[in-house]
Amino acid sequence: MGLLDKLSAWLGLRKTEVNVLCLGLDNSGKTTIINQLKPTNAHHEDIVPTIGFNIEKFKSSSLSFTVFDMSGQSRYRNLWEHYYKDSHAIIFVIDSGDKLRMVVAKEELDTLLNHQDIKDRRMPVLFFANKTDLKDAVSSVKVSQQLCLENIRDKPWHICASDAIKGEGLQEGVDWLQDHIRTAMIDDSVNA
């Protein structure tokens, strides 16, 4: 990227393209969240479990997102690491009503954060504590405690309570993610 390209991207004259991984256990709501973030005319009517991964695109005010919606089924989670290097950020979705698998979500998160392609990068991580509309759902604060998010000190992170079906909490998360991706990209170009 040349100096003029960088300047126009920083000034918001051109949308910067970024790659984002959307991760989490199966049935946490990853695909539903990504579907809600796409333009209304691009929404899918029927959401089915992701096998392998799907690639989706959407735009915010200054970024053009390419999202790798990765399957959360245990037999496909080993695919996640093949996409770490080329990603600018991670969206990690947790089913806040699935208390039994919160430990599994924490184990997968710990494995992710300790991977050689992630651990030394200041990659922003957005957490969606999804399905807050469920009767037995725990709060985003409780999800944060159960996942020990306070121990993440080397990466910017944020957690949002969300209801993917209604789209609640999603824009707040995307706004945070957009700001932190842009900051990380500016820092990377200054340090390069």
DSSP code per residue over 163-184? BTTTTBTHHHHHHHHHHHHHHH
Partners of residue 125 on adjacent β-strands = 90, 157
Residue 116, Cβ neighbours under 10 Å: how many?
9
Distance CA 109, CA 105 (A): 6
Residues in the chain: 192
Residue 1, Cβ neighbours under 10 Å: how many?
10
Nearest to 180 by CA among 56, 8, 20, 4: 20
Catalytic residues: 73
CB-based contact 68:87 (threshold 8 Å): yes
Distance CA 24, CA 4 (A): 38
